[in-house]
Amino acid sequence: MNIGLFGYGKMGKMIEQIAQDRSHSIVVKIDDPSQDIDYSQMDVAIDFSTPEAAFDNITNCFKNKVPVISGTTGWLDKFSEAVNICKEHKSAFIYASNFSLGVNIFFELNNHLAKMMSGLNQYKVSMEEIHHTQKVDAPSGTAITLAEGIIENTPYESWALDKSKDNTIPIKSIREGVVPGTHSISYKSSVDTIEIKHEAHNREGFALGAVIASEWIHGKIGIFSMKDVLNLS
């Protein structure tokens, strides 16, 4: 399979290595939006670029009928518009805040636990996420996805960074060292605490998940998620 990479930083280079190890070819590497792009070479595009570049990268692929796997965060105010362009051009799209197979299982575990806790008002939920100092957005896209899962399954209505109030999930964001990503969710009462946690040991899991998603979406049309890829629906 021929893959186009949009964003050729640390994650792009790791995706390249894993894709080549799985007998795929990287035919285009885009790290500058002004580069000329030959979309006809690509079977699928993987976007780990920047919030500023992501929307144009993604939608230009759709307009050229190239399916897209995107893990870029910070651009989701235009997500619905991107989905409409994908449908209009009969392309295919998977966006995930985190492509790690373990994290996507963690998303499902989070949803299930939230359902179990939804009627237990004595427990108050909170979240903490830790990432390396080069990560600029806070909270992480993964933390937001986890918060949305709790909101969907409990009386909580919103999340807030470092703030705690009724019906709001407080999220603490820590930036230190070279931590690839740690997310923990706690339900605390006066008598005990229930906690679930996912700790990434390196970035390889994120890159592998993106390549697996690109293999899965090849030849498909529509809007999908990692739940489809992992058959978790």
Instruction: Answer yes or no: do 67 and 180 share one domain.
Output: no
CATH number at residue 224: 3.40.50.720
Burial bucket for residue 62 (CB in 10 Å: 0-12, 13-18, 19+): buried
Q: What's the pLDDT tens digit per position in 183-196?
A: 999 999 999 999 99
Q: Which of 24, 131, 183, 198 is catalytic?
A: 131
Instruction: Answer yes or no: do 132 and 75 share one domain.
Output: no
**pTM for the whole thing?**
0.81
For residue 74, pLDDT beyond 90 = no
d(C-alpha 108, C-alpha 231), whole Å = 12
Residue 215 DSSP class: H
For residue 171, pLDDT beyond 70 = yes
Mean of the pLDDT values across residues 84-113?
Answer: 95
Task: Look up 131 and say whether it is catalytic.
Answer: yes
Which residue range is the domain that position 118 belongs to? 101-199
Residue type, 76: L
* Total count of domains within the chain: 2
pLDDT for res 170? 97
Instruction: Answer yes or no: do 67 and 131 share one domain.
Output: no
Q: Which of 135, 172, 218, 220 is catalytic?
A: 135
- Point out which residues pair with 222 in neighbouring strands: 92
